[in-house]
């Protein structure tokens, strides 16, 4: 006879119990045994896992493209430090159909989500959190200073520039009439 424990989503198998039959190892969730010549009852005993909160990152964040992998800002943490952050399962996926799926953060422009999860194999706890984020390409639109005037033959540096601006070659002599 085959016997297999089927714990619920947030349960873990503890042992088998039977008042009228002795199992060799009551802690094995799958087993095969010979059925005796009588009716027997074997009950699977389960324990509920404790739910833990995972948090610490910024959700729905927009990041600017760089040449480095990116993920939401912050530091992931587990409630009361009851489970090591380093043991969490991490999965990055694109949400815009571009097919990215990995344990490492993406680099390319696109829309993504990252899921942190306590592995299902953990017998004490469960918990999961998902954050969405987008990596956008930076498209700066610089303001061009207006109203600059200088005299032909003078150096560019003789014409004052607004704050945050500078000449590439301040010693260049202006050669044209105009503004």
Q: 55 and 44, same structural domain?
A: no
CATH code, domain with 128: 2.60.40
Q: 13 and 60, same structural domain?
A: no
Q: 112 and 76, same structural domain?
A: yes
CA 162 from chain centre, in angstroms, equals 42
Return the CA Rg of the chain: 32
Question: What string of H, E and C letters represents the secondary structure of the chain?
Answer: CEEECCCCCCEEEEEEECCCCCCCCCCCCEEECCCCCCCCCCEEEEEECEECCEEEECCCEEEECCCCCCCCCEEEEEHHHCCCHHHCEEEEEECCCCCCEECCCCCCCEEEEEEEECCCCCCCEECEEEEEEEEECCCCCCCCCCCCCCCCCCEHHHCCCCCCCCCCCCCCECCCCCC
Whether pLDDT at 15 is above 90 = yes
Is 141 within a domain? no
Q: 39 and 60, same structural domain?
A: no
pLDDT in tens, 60-117: 999 999 999 999 999 999 999 999 999 999 999 999 999 999 999 999 999 999 999 9
pLDDT in tens, 69-84: 999 999 999 999 999 9
Q: 158 and 131, same structural domain?
A: no
Q: Could you tell me the maximum CA-CA distance found in the chain, to the nearest angstrom? A: 113
Which residues constitute the domain of residue 92?
51-136
Q: 120 and 61, same structural domain?
A: yes
Q: 110 and 64, same structural domain?
A: yes
- How many domains would you assign to the chain? 3
* Residue 55's pLDDT band (cuts 50, 70, 90): very high
Tokens of residue 91, six digits:
């999965």
Strand-by-strand arrangement of the 110-117 sheet: 61-64, 128-136, 110-117, 89-94, 101-102
Is 145 within a domain? no
Selection from 145, 23, 112, 134 nearest residue 2 by Cα? 23
């Amino acid at each position: 006879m085959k016997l297999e424990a089927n714990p619920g989503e947030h349960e873990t198998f503890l042992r088998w119990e039977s008042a009228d039959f002795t199992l060799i190892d009551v802690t094995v969730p799958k087993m095969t045994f010979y059925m005796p010549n009588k009716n027997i009852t074997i009950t699977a005993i389960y324990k509920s896992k404790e739910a833990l909160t995972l948090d610490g990152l910024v959700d729905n964040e927009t990041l600017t493209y760089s040449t480095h992998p990116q993920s939401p800002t912050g530091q992931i943490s587990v409630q009361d430090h009851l489970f090591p952050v380093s043991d969490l399962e991490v999965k990055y996926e694109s949400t815009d159909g571009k097919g990215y799926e990995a344990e490492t953060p993406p680099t390319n422009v696109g829309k993504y989500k990252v899921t942190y999860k306590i592995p299902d194999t953990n017998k004490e706890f469960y918990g999961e959190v998902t954050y969405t984020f987008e990596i956008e390409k930076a498209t700066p639109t610089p303001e061009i200073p207006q109203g600059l005037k200088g005299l032909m033959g003078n150096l560019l540096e003789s014409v004052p520039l607004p704050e945050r601006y500078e000449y590439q070659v301040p010693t260049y002599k202006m050669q044209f009439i105009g503004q």
